[in-house]
Amino acid sequence: MDQVIIQEVGLRDGLQNQPRPISTADKLALAWSLLDSGIQQLEVTSFVSPRAVPQMADAAILTESLFAYLKAERPNFDTCGLSALVPNRRGYDAARNFPYQQLAVVLATTDAFNQRNLNMTTELALKGVQDLMVQARSDGLRLRVYLSGAMGCPYQGPVPVRDVLVLAEQLLKLGADELVVSDTTGAGSAKLARDLLHPLIALAGTSRLSLHLHDTRGQALPVALAGLDCGIRRFDASVGGLGGCPYAPGATGNVATEDLVYLCEQEGCSTGIDLAKLQSSIAFASRITGQALGGKVSIWLRSQQPDCTWQ
């Protein structure tokens, strides 16, 4: 049975754009619940300016508390699966105060997106990513690179496949450990995914590629299935479909972790994640955000409960 690795990004991508402040204690409780469900890869937070993303202002204390909890309560947990997003050298240096073994950086596919997200051109942003790669290699860290807007830019619209391939080739040559093909606005389709992934896989193979999908237009699962059919075995997902990018107007949540787990199981792949336990995480995330969360499979699972009532 093929193994699919799901990186849970609900704590970072899922919460970063939430209007209701989420306490550090609630974030920790959500992290514990997710780990209980079998999540092994968890993006904990983002070391960004608290003025730009107030929801991530507690990055340091959240990280410190989570590592302390794991050391005390789960000494056998492999913390190499924990990661954080760093937008620049300042964020990188802040994250290096903690025992992360992998970090993530972002590069968008267009100048317009990079200007809004990083306040610089694509050329300058690529240079910044290169500098972080050099430093990460020196520090012995694994670096994931999000290629944002790979299936559509929120400001310029469709992005030619060729433009994505040129950037991807540069990033891979520079030494990206993992290239995260990100459909930030949910603009993708199964056909577009295949058109993009076939040449990317020819360029890099499947082991260095993953998919980060948003479900803005209801196409995240078809795109994920296309990715599975192409041989992709690494995906990002967010518990309950939490998400939204502050720099991508109209973008909604990531593909729901539970829906992706169910899809993988139906396709004969293993994720190591317990769907029943994941329902507790969804319920808790709903409570702390004040939102009705849950993918399609959550609705179905609730309908199977004997005491289920619908209002």
Annotated catalytic sites, by residue? Answer: 245
Query: How many CB atoms sit inside 10 A of residue 191's CB?
Result: 11
Quote the CA–CA distance of 231 and 206 in Å, as a whole number.
6
Residues paired with residue 234 on neighbouring β-strands, in sequence order: 5
| Nearest Cα to Cα of residue 129 among 88, 83, 180, 84 | 88
- Centroid of chain to Cα 55: 16
Quote the CA–CA distance of 218 and 118 in Å, as a whole number.
28
Residues paired with residue 143 on neighbouring β-strands, in sequence order: 103
| Nearest Cα to Cα of residue 211 among 191, 192, 187, 228 | 228
Residue 6 in contact with residue 274, Cβ under 8 Å?
no
Structure tokens, 161 = 């496949």
